[in-house]
Amino acid sequence: MSVPTFFLRACPTCGRRLEVAVQHLGRDVECPSCGSRFATSIIPSEEFEDREVERVLRDAERYLATVDEWNQVAEAWSDRQSASAPP
**Residues in contact with Zn ion by the rule CB under 5 A:** 11, 13-14, 16, 31, 33-34
How near is the Cβ of 18 to Zn ion at its closest, in Å?
A: 8
Among the listed residues 15, 19, 18, 16, the one whose alpha carbon sits nearest the alpha carbon of residue 4: 19
Distance (Å, rounded) from C-alpha 35 to C-alpha 16? 11
User: Please, which residue, 29 or 49, has the CB nearer to Zn ion?
Assistant: 29
How near is the Cβ of 55 to Zn ion at its closest, in Å?
A: 29
How near is the Cβ of 32 to Zn ion at its closest, in Å?
A: 8
| Pair type for strands 6-10 and 17-21 | antiparallel
